[in-house]
Amino acid sequence: MYAIGGSSAINYGSSLCTIERLNFNDSNYLNRPTWECIYLTGGFEDQKRSQLGSIAISDDQIMIFGGFLDTDLTNQCYIIDHNTKMIEKMRKKQRPNQRGADAKIYTENINRNAAANIVLDEQLALELANNSDD
């Protein structure tokens, strides 16, 4: 079990850069598991994280994603290898978002139709005004 990042109650709720693991093999004097700090390398080890998601993707690796990096919202993903104690940023491939593209086309069509209706309404108003003069 891991505790990754979080917020500090001591330092005005600032995000933490710590990662801790509950070690069931190393019990304390009460025969309870102990928490140990995991010190990572890889260039991203000091980033302060909170409100993130995580999932074990193998026996050796955990993916962490989203949340906040200090005070900025992020969608970045990282892989932590707890055997090598390395963290690396995932390279993401941006796949086309068809739902977003469909929504954009739908919005453009609505705006185009609305503009056409305004023109028609103005033309109708002019025709009605001209007919009322007769």
Q: Is 71 in the same domain as 134? A: no
Query: Are 79 and 40 part of one and the same domain?
Result: yes
The pTM is what? 0.57
Q: What is the pLDDT of residues 1-37, one digit of tens each?
A: 888 888 777 766 677 778 888 888 876 667 778 888 8
45 Cβ neighbours under 8 A, 6+ residues apart = 17, 39, 87
45 touches 58 (CB < 8 A): no
Percent of the chain with pLDDT strictly greater than 90: 0
Q: So what's the pLDDT on residue 42?
A: 78
Output DSSP code: residue 93: -
Whether residue 83 is found in the same domain as residue 111? no
Which pLDDT score is estimated for 6? 81
Does 106 share its domain with 78?
A: no
Contact present, 124 and 118 (Cβ < 8 Å): no
Answer yes or no: do 75 and 125 share one domain: no
104-133 pLDDT, tens digit each: 566 666 656 665 666 566 666 677 777 765
Domain span at 110: 95-134
Question: What pLDDT, on the 0 to 100 scale, is given for residue 104?
Answer: 59
- The total of structural domains in the chain comes to 2
Dist CA 109 CA 103 (whole Å): 10
Phi, psi of 29 (to 5 degrees): -65, -15
pLDDT in tens, 88-98: 888 765 555 55
Mean pLDDT of 55-64: 89
**Cα torsion for 73, 93, 64, 6, to the nearest 10°?**
-10
The sign one gets for the Cα dihedral 102, 108, 109, 114 is positive
pLDDT at 105: 63
